[in-house]
Structure 1
């Protein structure tokens, strides 16, 4: 196990970490499905060859589908990230509603990922560049349901024994290191953030969780894990870092409950939402 590096000072409330550092951390954690790219022929919203949707739009739809799938599954052991888009088509109607039908592969998220790919198909509908796309997605199982339940239960037991780190603790640290003993906390943070990222996704904006910047509350005195935390989301393509405070309640096999509030940096508005899986 590599030695834990000293934790850098946490950002003051509302202050973004350096975008270059967080972008590097996000890309290192995201795996092959995430790319940083500026506007171009493959970017969402940029017309492609007649009858062929731009690759950026297909990736956008696939990521939105996986954020939705992760949230609805409510399983930190079953988290999935995009591997590759296989094929797809898109249509835009007179009301500027963009419907994307696609097939893609996904892989397990985290250090336990074994490289096995699962195949998914989805229909994602973006309405007038508005957030919260409509998603209908199905994926081949990566593992048997019984095994996933066992892994969730083991993670739950580990989480019940965890003591919350100091509120200023950041994961990963400046070297990209996450203490393995705190991995359940990171996975639950990623699970709750999946809802936020899906709800905020538009045809041209997508998100990735760059850092768990503070733990505000970690309660396990009842059956469920009650977790209140702040994350920094990397917003592509504006390249802004958005602080979001998220509260989730999780128990294996039960619907995930999420509430959140994000501080917008490029507008005077603030975003928030609540949902039960």
Structure 2
């Protein structure tokens, strides 16, 4: 495994750089101590549109902020799940804005979030501003990772265009004479060479599964850097990659190295296995099962 860098990479792609840390790196315990506050704030709440709320459903500013944070958390988890299930590097989405949402906590302190949000195309060079709207139900099992998700998105990239772009990428990868061996994407200046953009997008596609599996009510993740990638020549139809990626974990501000093995073929389910080097909680360090989701998702081109 790669050595943990002293700090996150110097810079990210300009349009997708995560926000600066809100404070110094802290232990997970500090995050967990916030859990009772959030659960109390959400207990029995039926929220109006995100960021709204009145005296009856948001007793104070702090409660409203916690509510908005949970809606954002649920939207990010839903998109990780959606990207993984779609299995298409050309159709990756990122969160644009949460339009409305509702959160409920049951007596077991399990949280159900229903929300509606808009999305952007992940690749800023695609030239499409808004890809449409998603509605989702996200179920957080107390503080456990891997929330259950049902998500429906509309106004996707036209199906034939998406299939064509994926197949062009696939044939390019299969025709490489020498197995790919690349280090550090983006580079030390935060730049991704256009020729390496498909490699980054495939890594983000695979990491979507990892980030969904590791997300909780209070922790979310962003792929910060690829520190190594190897493509394996196989006789199978799929393309086969080993990635080592660095995940930025919010709110602890830790950088977590993960090794991801993925096999991809256009139009078929993505296969993912991974192992992450947890810094403080090694008992959660691996996800060894093949990438597959237990909750349904719908791809709607309307």
| TM-score over 0.5 for the pair | yes
Pair 1:109-2:122 in alignment = yes
Once the 2 structures are TM-superposed, how far is the Cα of residue 266 of structure 1 from its aligned partner? 1.8
> Which residue in 2 is equivalent to 1:21?
9
Contact 1:105–1:120 (CA under 8 A) maintained in structure 2: yes
Contact 2:181–2:231 (CA under 8 A) maintained in structure 1: no
In the alignment, the residues of structure 1 paired with residue 137 and residue 232 of structure 2 have an alpha-carbon distance, to the nearest angstrom, of: 36
SS of structure 2 residue aligned to 1:232: strand
Output the TM-score relative to the length of structure 1. Answer: 0.85
> Which residue in 2 is equivalent to 1:76?
89
> Which residue in 2 is equivalent to 1:9?
none
Once the 2 structures are TM-superposed, how far is the Cα of residue 164 of structure 1 from its aligned partner? 4.3
Contact 2:12–2:191 (CA under 8 A) maintained in structure 1: no
Alignment counterpart, residue 211 of structure 2, candidates 197, 215, 233: 197
> Which residue in 2 is equivalent to 1:150?
164
Q: Deviations over 1:212-253 (max 9, x none)?
A: 110144335532100111100000000000000000100001
SS of structure 1 residue aligned to 2:9: helix
SS of structure 2 residue aligned to 1:125: strand
Gaps spanning 5+ residues in structure 1: where? Answer: 1-12
> Which residue in 2 is equivalent to 1:271?
286
In the alignment, the residues of structure 1 paired with residue 98 and residue 84 of structure 2 have an alpha-carbon distance, to the nearest angstrom, of: 21
Structure number having the greater strand percentage: 1
Contact 1:159–1:184 (CA under 8 A) maintained in structure 2: no
Alignment of 1:128-207 (within 5 A): 128-162=142-176, 163-166=178-181, 169-207=183-221
> Which residue in 1 is equivalent to 2:107?
94
> Which residue in 1 is equivalent to 2:61?
none
Contact 1:159–1:185 (CA under 8 A) maintained in structure 2: no
> Which residue in 1 is equivalent to 2:48?
none
Contact 1:219–1:227 (CA under 8 A) maintained in structure 2: no
In the alignment, the residues of structure 2 paired with residue 113 and residue 179 of structure 1 have an alpha-carbon distance, to the nearest angstrom, of: 18
Alignment counterpart, residue 61 of structure 1, candidates 71, 74, 98: 74
Gaps spanning 5+ residues in structure 2: where? Answer: 24-30, 43-52, 59-63, 293-302
SS of structure 1 residue aligned to 2:209: helix
Pair 1:247-2:261 in alignment = yes
Matched residue count: 258
In the alignment, the residues of structure 1 paired with residue 89 and residue 127 of structure 2 have an alpha-carbon distance, to the nearest angstrom, of: 13
Contact 1:218–1:227 (CA under 8 A) maintained in structure 2: yes
**Which entry has the higher C-alpha Rg, 1 or 2?**
2
> Which residue in 1 is equivalent to 2:16?
30
Alignment counterpart, residue 51 of structure 1, candidates 38, 57, 60: 57
